[in-house]
Amino acid sequence: MKKTFISAIDEIKEIDDSTSLNNFKSKYLGKNSILYFYFRKLTTLNISERVQCSTILNNFKKKINNKINNKKIKLKDNKLINQRNQYFVDYTLPGRKIERGSLHPITMIIEEIKEIFSYLGFETYYGPELESVYYNFDALNIPYNHPARNISDTFWFNSKYVLRTQTSGMQIRILEKNPGPIKAIIPGKVYRRDYDQTHTPMFHQIEGLIVDTSVSFANLKWILENFIVQILKKNTKIRFRSSYFPFTCPSAEMDIQDKYGNWLEILGCGMVHPNVLQNCNINCNIYSACAFGIGVERIAMLKYSVSDIRRFFENDIRFLKQFV
CA gap 315, 104 in Å, rounded: 10
Residue 171 lies in a domain: yes
Same structural domain for residues 317 and 252? Answer: yes
68 C-beta neighbours (distance < 10 Å), count: 18
95 in a domain, yes or no?
no
Q: Residue 140 contacts by C-beta under 8 Å, 6 or more apart in sequence?
A: 168, 169, 171, 172, 246, 247, 276
Residues 6+ apart with CB under 8 A from 28: 8, 34, 35, 64
Task: State the DSSP string of 182-212.
Answer: EEEEEEEEEE-S--BTTB-SEEEEEEEEEEE
| pTM exceeds 0.75, yes or no | no
Q: What is the pLDDT of residue 98?
A: 80
State whether 151 and 288 are in the same domain.
yes
Shared-domain flag, residues 274 and 144: yes
The reported pLDDT for the residue numbered 12 is: 65
Q: In a structure prediction context, what are the per-residue pLDDT tens digits for the chain, which is 324 residues long?
A: 555 655 666 666 667 677 776 777 777 666 666 666 666 666 676 777 767 777 776 777 777 777 777 777 776 766 666 666 666 667 787 877 787 778 899 999 999 999 999 999 999 999 899 999 999 888 888 888 888 888 888 898 898 999 999 898 898 888 888 877 889 999 999 998 877 777 788 999 999 999 988 888 999 999 999 999 899 887 788 899 999 888 888 999 999 887 788 888 888 999 998 888 888 888 888 888 999 999 899 889 888 888 888 888 888 888 888 887
Whole-Å CA distances, 240 to 198, 258, 264: 19, 15, 11
Category of 233 on φ-ψ map: left (φ > 0), alpha (ψ -120 to 50) or beta: left
Within this chain, do residues 174 and 201 fall inside the same structural domain, yes or no? Answer: yes
What DSSP element (H or E) covers 177? Answer: helix 169-177
- Looking at 59, 86, 113, the residue that finishes a domain is 86
For residue 121, the 8-state DSSP code is T
Into how many domains does the chain fold? Answer: 2
What is the residue range of 25's domain? 2-86
- Residue among 76, 84, 85, 100 nearest 18 (CA): 76
Residues 188 and 311 in one domain: yes
Please report, as a single letter, which amino acid is at residue 129. E
Residue 20 lies in a domain: yes
268-272 CB contacts, 8 Å cutoff, 24+ apart: 268/243, 268/292, 268/293, 269/220, 269/224, 269/293, 270/217, 270/220, 270/243, 270/245, 271/215, 271/216, 271/217, 271/220, 272/171, 272/209, 272/211, 272/247, 272/248
Q: What is the CATH number of the domain that holds 275?
A: 3.30.930.10
Same domain for 270 and 141: yes
